[in-house]
Amino acid sequence: MILALETSCDDTCAAVVDATGAILANVISSQGIHDRYGGVVPEIASRHHLELINAVVDDALRRAGSTLADVRLVAVTRGPGLIGALLVGLQTAKGLAAARRLPLAPVDHLHGHVAANFLAPAAVEPPFVCLIASGGHTLLALVREPGGFELLGQTLDDAAGEAFDKGARLLGLPYPGGPALERLARDGDPEAFDFPRASRVSGLDFSFAGLKTALLYKLDDLGEAESRRLRTDLAASYQRAIVDALLARAERALGQSGIDRLALGGGVAANGELRARARGLGAVVAVPPAELCTDNAAMIGSAARFVSAQPYPDYLGLDAYASGDYGS
């Protein structure tokens, strides 16, 4: 059995998965506290991870009906993410593994999002193109084998989820704004306004910073009363621009790679318009359940099945990393 930990952002996560990719427990403790700050505060996130992590591990083991004695491998996110937050999970994983002389599998967080697709019961077989979009990352990955991925493109500035949150804030919605913006967009006309899709960004990279600025200018132009009256149209058009930008690159990636399978991941994969329109691309589309799209430790345990684990004591000096190097 694999015990997996994930603390790269503001969710304190522990999971137990088995060698076949079956999830025996998947505990996610969301900190919530950051909403009042309008974003994740690293120091506060780190403090909460330390408060929660041991209880979350215990909870995962209990839900899996097991104890540490049943664990054969400890897996943990090493990066990318908030260093102080990552270190709480990494030291906990190293310490648990060291105390029991177990091997440890350090996992890249983005590989984890890809590996959410390898979990039972709906495992997707490589090769496939994976679009990962969340508040922290936006990228396209080419997955030829389960042990890794090739980075095809990534955002040059804001993440897609960040674009949702910033747009929502401009429209007066509370943080995190993605789901609220989507609800507002349901009653609006997505073609009422033409927001930029970063079409000048070449290849398979993304850019969302201009979109937020465009919304800001549009709100200025319209004035407060008109902006309020056209709120649903603004939300719908803004969401349309994000989804268009994401899917245009995904479609290009499918075309260039000649692969006809697309997997979605990350918190933005919960967006209804993204899911629906992805199915219109003509590819076979896989979307893991919502709790496996957002940050979780089951996906880290899943990835750990395909990376080489380090035996005791090789991993004792492992450090966390804030940003990854994916050779692109």
Q: Closer to another protein at the Cβ: 61 or 241?
A: 61
Q: How far is the CB of 178 from another protein (least distance, A)?
A: 22
Residue 282 binding: pick among Zn ion, another protein, none (C-beta 5-8 Å cut-off by kind):
none
Residue 123 binding: pick among another protein, Zn ion, none (C-beta 5-8 Å cut-off by kind):
none
Residue 260 binding: pick among Zn ion, another protein, none (C-beta 5-8 Å cut-off by kind):
none
Q: How far is the CB of 245 from another protein (least distance, A)?
A: 31
Residues in the chain: 328
Regarding 108 and contact with Zn ion (CB under 5 A), the answer is no
Q: Is the bond leading into 313 cis (omega within 30 degrees of zero)?
A: yes
Residue 134 CB-half CA count within 13 A:
22
Regarding 11 and contact with Zn ion (CB under 5 A), the answer is no
DSSP 98-118: HHTT--EEEEEHHHHHHHGGG
Residue 94 binding: pick among another protein, Zn ion, none (C-beta 5-8 Å cut-off by kind):
another protein
Q: Closer to another protein at the Cβ: 81 or 146?
A: 81
Q: How far is CA 23 from the centre of its chain?
A: 18
The one segment of 19-27, 184-192, 203-211, 294-302 that binds Zn ion by CB under 5 A: 294-302
Q: How far is the CB of 42 from another protein (least distance, A)?
A: 9
User: What is the spatial distance between Cα 24 and Cα 63, in angstroms, rounded to a whole number?
Assistant: 7
Q: Contact, 11 vs 291, CB < 8 A?
A: no
Regarding 6 and contact with Zn ion (CB under 5 A), the answer is no
Residue 217: other Cβ atoms inside 10 A? 9
Residue 295 binding: pick among Zn ion, another protein, none (C-beta 5-8 Å cut-off by kind):
Zn ion
Q: Closer to Zn ion at the Cβ: 143 or 230?
A: 143
Among 79, 109, 77, smallest CA distance to 93 is for 77
Q: Is the bond leading into 176 cis (omega within 30 degrees of zero)?
A: yes
List residues binding another protein (CB under 8 A). 36-37, 41, 43-44, 46-47, 50-51, 53-55, 57-58, 68, 83-84, 87-88, 90-100, 313, 316-320
Q: How far is the CB of 200 from Zn ion (least distance, A)?
A: 27
123: exposed, middle or buried (Cβ count in 10 Å: 0-12, 13-18, 19+): middle
Regarding 162 and contact with Zn ion (CB under 5 A), the answer is no
Binding-site residue total for Zn ion (CB under 5 A)? 2
Q: Contact, 312 vs 67, CB < 8 A?
A: no
User: Which strand (E) or helix (H) includes residue 75?
Assistant: strand 73-79
Place of tokens 């007066």: 172
Regarding 295 and contact with Zn ion (CB under 5 A), the answer is yes
